[in-house]
Structure formats: C-alpha cells, structure tokens
Amino acid sequence: MSNNIQMDPPDDSDMMSFGEPLHVNISRASTRFESIQRAHSRQAASPEIAGAEEEAEAGEPGFNLTEWLRGRDKVSGPPFAKRFGLVFRDLSIYGTDVSNKHISTLVTPIWKLIKGVRNGWGVPEMLAAGISGNRRQLTHSFSGEVKEGEMLLVLGRPGSGCSTLLRVLGNRCKGYKHIDGKVSYGGLSPDEVQKHYRGEVAHNAEEDFHFPTLTVRQTLEFAIRCKTPSAQVLDDREKYRTDVLDMLLDMYGLRSCADTIVGNAFLRGVSGGERKRVSIAEQVAAGAAIEVWDGSTRGLDSSSALDYVRSLRIGADVLQKAVVASIYQASESIYKLFDKVMVIDEGRQLYFGSTADAIPYFESLGIEKPARQTSSDFLTGLTQLNERRVRKGYEQSAPTTAEEFERAWLASEQCQAMHDELEAFEGQIEQDGRSQELREFVNRTKMGTEKHRLRARSPYTTTFMFQLQLLAEREWQIFTGNLTQIIFKVIYNIAFALILGTAFIALPQTSAGIFQRGGALFTALLLSTLTSQSEIPKAVSGRLTIYKHHSLAMYHPAALSLAQTLVDFPFSAMQSMIFSIIFYFLVHLVRTAPHFFTFFLYLFMGSICLTAFFRLIGNISPNIDDLLISATKCAFCLVLDLDSYISLDSNIWHPALAFMSKTNGVILAV
C-alpha cells in the first residue's frame, strides 16, 4: 500500500526541512478533532460554559477551544482529554549482571525452578541474589517530567539504557531486580496504575503487533468499542463510535487503506509506515493518557518516520497526551517536533530540557556542533572520540566521558532549573487534585447498568458480557479473514475421510467385523486429536497482540478464552460433519439417524475438548519451542493412554493413572 495519501496542499508552516514530503497534516487533524469534540461535548455542557459554547457556534473570535475543553473537563469530562503528566525523580534501575554468565549445566534447571518459586512466593532478597547472580546498576538517578501535551525525545546509543528507562516509565517493571526513586503518573503510584488504571499508561516496543487478517477499520473499531464511555457521558454511543473512527482515519491518513488488512511479515497488507500509524490510532482509540514508544522508527524510511512522529504530535497537541519516545538517527524535522530531549549514555543522564536549549548547553561546555550534522546525531555522539569536536580553548576543560558529562550536568544551572520545574509541576498536580479527578473521570466513563455495573476500581471500561460479544465478533472476523486456511482445512478433512474411509470400506455387519469397527472408531478419534493441534501456532502468533491489549485494559483474558471457544463451535461442527458424512457411510456403520448423530456428537465434542486442551498448553508455554515439545508429548500421552480405557476399573492401574485416564478427552469420546 502506497504511503502517498492525498491531502490538501500544506501551509508553509507545515513544511519541514530536508525535503521530506507531507503525508500527515497536523493542522488538518486538529481541525477534524475540534469538529468531532464540539459535537459530542455539546450534549453534556454545563450552564457555566453554555455561553462559551454559544460563542463557538456563532464564531466569536474570543472563543478558545482548549480552555473550553479544560472547563468542561471539570464538569463532566470529555471522552478524549485527561490531565495526566509524568514525573520521575532520582530513578535508579538495577538488573542482573550477565557479563559472567556461565554455560548451562545439570543443576541450571533446578536454579531456574527455585527462581520461579522465589518470584511467585517471595524468597528473601539475599537468597534471590545468590540464585540470580550479581546486581548491576543500569541507570543512575534519572530525573525529569513530561506535562500533558508535551513530547520527550530520549536519545542515546544502543546499550546506553534508553529501553530500560522507557520500560520503567511505561510501568513495565517486571524483570528488574530493584528500582530506586519515584515515578508518578498524574499523582498516582505505579502500583495503583497497574491495578486499577492500567490502560492509562501504554508502552510500545519497536515492533507493531496486530492481528494480520483484520482490516485497519476492524482493528480501530474494536479498540473504540472496547473503550467507548458509558451513556452517562454520551447520549448516542453508536454515533460516537462512528465519528471517532472517521476522525482517526482522517487524522492519521488511513482513509485510503481503511479496508486493507493490516498484514505482517508473512501476509501482505498495509505499508510499514501505515502500520505504525495504525498503532498510534489504536492507542488514541484505547484512551491511553501517557504513551511510551521505544525505537518505533526502526525499519522506516525518512518520510514514513516523519509521518509517524507527526502522528504522535497530533496526539500530544489535540488530545493532550504525554508522549515519551526514543528514536535512533532522527532527522532534524523529527527533532524539532519534540518539546524536550533527554540525553543519556552508559546509564547516566547528560541533559534534560528543551530541544532548543540542548545544543547551546553542550556548546557552552566546549563541544562544537558541525554545520551539517543533525542535532540528534550530535547529541548521541558526545562521548564518542571519533565524533566529538572540542572548541578551541576548551581542550582541557571539556568533558570527554559519560561520568564527566554527568557531573557537568548536575552542577549546571539548567539542571537546577529542571529540578525547580519538576517540583513546581508536582506541587501543581497535588494542588489541582489530578489523581482524584482522574479516578472520578474513569469511574464515570465505565459502562453498565444499575444491576450489572463494573467495579469502581476495575481497569476496564465495558462489562464482561459486552467484552465477550466484541471478542466473539473479532474472533469470527479473524477466522473468516483467512479463507485460505478455511479452504485447506475443509480439503484436509475431505481427503482424510476418503483415505480412512476406503481403508475400512464396507465392513461386514457380523461379529467378524467388530475388531475392525473398533479400529475405525479409534482412527477417527486419532485424526480428531491430530487436527486439534492446529491451535498450536495460533496460540503463539497472537500472544504479543493479546499482551498489548491486556496492558491497555481493553478486555478480560477470561472473556477472550470464552469467545474463542464460542467461535470454535460452528467451524468444528462443520469439520466434524464433513468428516462424519464421508467416513461413516464408507465404513458402513449402522445407518440410522440416532447412530449417525451419536457418532458425530462424540467426534465433535472430542474435537472441542482437545482444541481447548492444546490451547491451554499454548497459553502456559513460554515460547514456541517449549510449546511444540509439550504439545507433542501430551498428544503422545493422550493416544498412548487409550490402551488403558478397557481397564479403568481394574486394579492393575495406579489410582493416579486411572484418574488421568478418566480425564482424557479421547478416552471419554471412545
């Protein structure tokens, strides 16, 4: 899909340097948002701001949409905007030192098991350190703040600690041994956000994870429906969904590819730049107030990367989001779109402040910026001997290492000004009561009736039954979106039914054919077992997308499992019916309706049970390698255990094995 989206001619203010063409128009996106925002805000406006709304409709020059939205936020809260800033102070992150990692031996799995028990049950830290290795400090006392509507660019060479910082700022702290310092999300602690407001902070890795067979429209529509506010905020929820979807398609230049599948590395769909914008639009639809993007421009050309950052700028300007992003080799056009920049190297903070003041600050330290070098390349190459240029007269005083740059920063006036601004912002958050304001806003937007209402501290916006309905629709769209797989499975069942049916064709209706009939029934169930293993790749392929949706609090995992089972019923019934019709009559089993439908029912239920079983194996396996090993062994045990079904009540089997046999879905079907 081409990235050349037809847009209106840009203004001079929208043109960027380096000759990069304009695909995403920020001013046009802002205008589109204002029209949708005004339409859905009118119905809930309070008497205090009614006069301002009348001025807006009359086109009065004194009307300020931003101030009007903030005033309305105090009354009923708009469906889009939240006042939600990010503060981090003296943030030091510790991980495991892997520099002296040893080769795995016989006792390595035992240590891993003890480590797993420690993570689950809380073994003391001293014992944990002995199990996991030495502790290593990854970052050293990072501090900074990102207000709502601001964008922070984190610059650093690979291995400097950018990803570590962004994971912690995105509230993804699992895997680190210890974290010192403070992180605050609009006055809320990371633990409270994780438990009750998980969807308000979004962390995005450099890869884009979507269901490849869904179209752009289906992907965004699902996110919107999962996060649509309750009727207490909106009178017409369906119109809201339609308007927001149209707005996102227009704002992020996705109108031309709305009905194209998203695709992935194996399935052709939209382009890489369009897929990035789909991820951003999905975050907007999910309503995350703080977005953290880690190296998301990798693999994009300069034009697509600029489109991507312009899309982030739209979210910050229009929706007042706090955006943190790390970008490698950012062009000057991209650099100028950010409000603040943070420079780190070797886990040490070298600078935090305005993008416009970064170059003058380092020039004051004696570092010279080449005329043709971009600002981001200059800032990331400060500590590199072959890239750094020292001004005349500063050969002895200019810092050269990360430690020296850190000491210079801590002693600078800019650092003191940053701390003063940080303290002032924290005081403003406490004075405004933003944490309580956010709690009230989130509770007000939760969907439900008086009888079936979400818990006040639930991180989800919609009820469980509504999530189940949405997920069932989405699973059906995913299933029907891959017609090749459906056709292959139908042909597979027809072919195997013909092959197995002809192997047992026209069995005699006497006692001489009893043994052959048992073999035929066993073979039919064996095929059902093998066919159910098709769930193995599906359980792994969509896992990262499900993790992303879980972090955005879009739906409960139990609702997803139930929806997948519901969608399995019609297709499994179709497969079982096709196989049963061909196989049953070729084998010449009892040709009466009760006998035929009994055979079909047991085959169908066995397929459903085994599909759920292999899906369970897939969900608990950490990776595809362990999944294949576990699934193969489990399938072998299920089939091997069939030998014991005749002796379930005898004394030759251990009680534990007898219990396992009674829970074997294949045996129950036999």
Both structure tokens of 8: 């209106």
| Mean pLDDT, residues 348-370 taken together | 91
- pLDDT computed for residue 101 by the predictor: 55
Q: What is the pLDDT of residues 483-520, one digit of tens each?
A: 888 888 889 889 988 988 888 887 777 676 677 777 78
Both structure tokens of 362: 């380092």
- pLDDT computed for residue 629 by the predictor: 78
Contacts of residue 226, defined as CB under 8 A and 6 or more positions apart, other chains included, come to 286, 461, 462, 467, 470, 554, 555
Q: What is the pLDDT of residues 133-150, one digit of tens each?
A: 567 888 998 999 999 889
Q: Residue 640: pLDDT band by 50, 70, 90 thresholds?
A: low
Q: What is the pLDDT of residues 562-585, one digit of tens each?
A: 998 898 888 888 988 998 899 888
Give the range with max mean pLDDT: 603-612, 638-647, 656-665.
603-612
- Please name every residue paired with 96 in a beta bridge, in sequence order, or none if there are none: 135
- pLDDT computed for residue 301 by the predictor: 81
- pLDDT computed for residue 62 by the predictor: 38
Question: Exposed (0-12), middle (13-18) or buried (19+): which is 50, by Cβ within 10 Å?
Answer: exposed
- pLDDT computed for residue 233 by the predictor: 54
Cα separation, 285 vs 296, whole angstroms = 19
- pLDDT computed for residue 103 by the predictor: 62
- pLDDT computed for residue 54 by the predictor: 46
pLDDT at residue 87 is higher than 80: yes
- pLDDT computed for residue 348 by the predictor: 92
- pLDDT computed for residue 450 by the predictor: 43
| Mean pLDDT, residues 403-431 taken together | 90
Cα separation, 19 vs 8, whole angstroms = 18
- pLDDT computed for residue 91 by the predictor: 92
Q: Which residue has the higher pLDDT, 62 or 362?
A: 362
Q: Residue 642: pLDDT band by 50, 70, 90 thresholds?
A: low
| Mean pLDDT, residues 587-616 taken together | 85
| Average pLDDT in the chain | 76
Report pTM.
0.74
Contact indicator for 145, 354 with CB cutoff of 8 Å: no
Minimum mean pLDDT range among 39-43, 532-536, 542-546, 615-619: 39-43
Cα distances (Å, whole numbers) of residue 32 to 125, 252, 284: 53, 11, 14
Cα distances (Å, whole numbers) of residue 271 to 3, 264, 296, 519, 538: 7, 9, 14, 52, 23
Helices and strands counted in the chain (H then E): 27, 10
| Mean pLDDT, residues 577-594 taken together | 87
| Mean pLDDT, residues 452-470 taken together | 78
pLDDT at residue 59 is higher than 60: no
Q: Residue 221: pLDDT band by 50, 70, 90 thresholds?
A: very high
Q: What is the pLDDT of residues 257-300, one digit of tens each?
A: 889 999 888 888 888 888 888 988 888 888 888 899 988 777 77
- Please name every residue paired with 203 in a beta bridge, in sequence order, or none if there are none: 292
- pLDDT computed for residue 339 by the predictor: 93
- pLDDT computed for residue 539 by the predictor: 74
Q: Residue 10: pLDDT band by 50, 70, 90 thresholds?
A: very low
Cα separation, 154 vs 352, whole angstroms = 9
pLDDT at residue 454 is higher than 70: no
pLDDT at residue 57 is higher than 50: no
The strand pair at 290-294 and 201-204 is best described as parallel
Domain boundaries, the chain: 464-669
Q: What is the pLDDT of residues 162-204, one digit of tens each?
A: 989 999 999 888 878 889 999 999 888 888 888 888 888 888 8
Contacts of residue 184, defined as CB under 8 A and 6 or more positions apart, other chains included, come to 86, 87, 88, 426, 429
- pLDDT computed for residue 361 by the predictor: 92
Give the range with max mean pLDDT: 18-22, 341-345, 612-616.
341-345
- pLDDT computed for residue 281 by the predictor: 87
Q: Residue 659: pLDDT band by 50, 70, 90 thresholds?
A: low
pLDDT at residue 117 is higher than 90: no
Cα separation, 206 vs 593, whole angstroms = 57
